[in-house]
Amino acid sequence: MIARKDSSWCCSSLTPSRETARFCLLGALVALYMMAGAAVFSCLERPQELKAHQLWKMRLRTFSEEHNISEEELKSLLHHYDEARTAGVHSERGRALWDFPGAFYFVGTVVSTIGFGVTAPSTGAGKVLLVFYGSLGCSAAILFFNLFLERLITSISLFMFCSDERKPSVYQITLLLLLVVLVVACSAASLYSPMEGWTYLESLYFCFVAFSTVGFGDFVSSQKEHHEDIRAYQMSNCLLMLLGVCCTYSLTLDCSCVSHRRSFCNEVKVETICYNDKILSVEQEQDNYLYKNNVSVKPLPAWLN
C-alpha cells in the first residue's frame, strides 16, 4: 500500500498540473504573438528605415563636400549635439527640462512607468537617486492603481444596481470600463490636437502609447515653451495622464481577472461534475472511506451553472 502511494505520488508530481499547462500554453501564445508582430512591423517599417538611412548618408556627404569639412569631424559635432540634447539643451528653444514643472513632469512619467525617455538624469547622483525613488514610487503607483480599480468597479456596480436593481455581470463592467477608456482617450486627443499641433490620429496614437505606459517618446506632450494658457494646459495634461493611466490599467487588469476567473470556473465545474459522478483519481482511491462517510455530494452552485 505504501509503495503504491509513493509510486502514485511520484507520477502525479512529474505530471504537469492544469495550471502549469495553462501557463506554458499562454507563454507559447505570447511568444508566437510577439514573433508575428515583429514580422509584420519589420515588413512595414524596415523599408522606410533603409530609405531614411540612405537619405541621411547622402545629405551628410553633400554637406561635408559643400562646407569643406570631413565626415568624421561632422559626425563628432553631431555626437556632441546628441549629448547636449540629452542634457536638455536644444537648438530650438523649448521648455526647460529641469525646472520644477519639468522635474515634476519627469517624476510623473517615472512613477506611472510611462518613461517617455525625453528627460533622463545625467549626473551620477541623479541616476542613483532614480533607482531608489523609482522603486518606491512605482510600487506606490501600482498600489494606487489597484485601489482606484476597486473604487471604480464599486462605483460602477452601485450605479448599475441602482438603475437596474440587479447585480451587474463582470462582462458588463468590463464593457463599461472600455467605454470609459475610449471617452477619456478621445477627450484627451481633442485637447492635444490643437495644443500640440498634432493631427487627431496622432493625438489618439499618443494617448494609447501614454495611457498604456508604453511610452515610445516620439510624441510627448507639454514640451513647447509657449502654449495658450500654459498653466491650465499643464494641469489638464497631468490630470488626463493620471486618469488615462488609471483607467487603462484598470481595464487591462479587469480583463485579466475575467479571463482567469472564467478558466477557474470551468475547472471547478469539471472537477465538481467528476466528483458527483464518483470519478476519483488514483490518489483519491486510498481515501474512499473518507469520501463515503464524511463528504456529502452537493449540487453545483448557481454561479457555476
Farthest CA pair distance, the chain: 98
The top-scoring range by mean pLDDT among 2-11, 72-81, 146-155, 183-192 is 183-192
Is the pTM of the predicted complex or chain greater than 0.85?
no
Residue 71 to residue 50: CA distance in whole angstroms: 20
Q: Given this model, what pLDDT does residue 299 score?
A: 46
Is 240 in contact with 111 (CB distance < 8 Å)?
A: no
- Tell me which of 90-104, 153-167, 228-242, 270-284 is least confident: 270-284
Confidence of residue 237 (pLDDT cuts 50, 70, 90): confident
Residue 127 to residue 110: CA distance in whole angstroms: 12
Model confidence pLDDT, tens digit, residues 162-190: 877 677 777 888 888 899 999 999 999 99
Whether residue 26 is predicted with pLDDT greater than 90 in this model: the reply is no
CA atoms within 13 A on the CB side of 159: 9
Average pLDDT of the residues in 49-78: 86
- Tell me which of 16-20, 21-25, 93-97, 246-250 is least confident: 93-97
Q: Given this model, what pLDDT does residue 10 score?
A: 53
Whether residue 119 is predicted with pLDDT greater than 90 in this model: the reply is no
Q: Given this model, what pLDDT does residue 304 score?
A: 38
Average pLDDT of the chain, as a whole number? 77
Q: Given this model, what pLDDT does residue 76 score?
A: 86
Confidence of residue 88 (pLDDT cuts 50, 70, 90): low
Confidence of residue 207 (pLDDT cuts 50, 70, 90): very high
DSSP category for residue 53: H
Residue corresponding to grid cell 455530494: 297
Confidence of residue 104 (pLDDT cuts 50, 70, 90): confident
Which secondary structure element, helix H or strand E, spans residue 170, and what is its range? Answer: helix 170-196
Whether residue 263 is predicted with pLDDT greater than 70 in this model: the reply is no
| Nine-digit cell string for 186 | 478621445
Confidence of residue 94 (pLDDT cuts 50, 70, 90): low
What domains does the chain contain, in order, with CATH numbers?
22-86 (no CATH), 95-265 (1.10.287.70)
